[in-house]
Amino acid sequence: MPTRRFPPPWTVEEGQTWFVVKDNDGQKLAYVHFDDPRSAAKPLSRDEARRIAANIAKLPELSSKSDWSSIAALHFAPRLVQLNKAVTLTRFQLADTISGGKADSEHD
């Protein structure tokens, strides 16, 4: 197995108005800024930024424990069930409309 470019574990360190995620070699991988008044958008709170950085730092653990397709399946499964129900309902409505149209034309 090839060696990883960004070896785990990844850690989170806090700066003045940011959190930085680093790999095991100290390479900085991501900055998550908070409470920055210069930000054009609504700045994140310190707690929001900390949680985002902590979740980024967990990515190597997730990819080694399972494949991304199962993670995606867990994330999208509820929406797929909703879509399947909507398609099934639409299919039945269409079938009723078609059969209803044929029945009306037979009586004329």
Same domain, 41 and 84: no
pLDDT score for 91: 56
pLDDT score for 32: 93
Average pLDDT over residues 1-20: 88
Q: How many domains does the chain have?
A: 2
**41-66 pLDDT, tens per residue?**
788 999 999 999 999 999 988 776 65
Same domain, 55 and 108: no
Mean pLDDT of the chain: 76
Same domain, 48 and 4: yes
% helix, strand, coil for the chain, step of 5:
55, 15, 30
pLDDT score for 107: 46
Using DSSP's 3-state secondary structure scheme, residue 26 falls into coil
* Domain, as residue range, for 86: 67-108
Same domain, 61 and 75: no
**27-37 pLDDT, tens per residue?**
999 999 998 77
- Residues 6+ positions from 91 with CB-CB distance below 8 Å: none
Same domain, 58 and 79: no
Same domain, 78 and 57: no
Same domain, 80 and 52: no
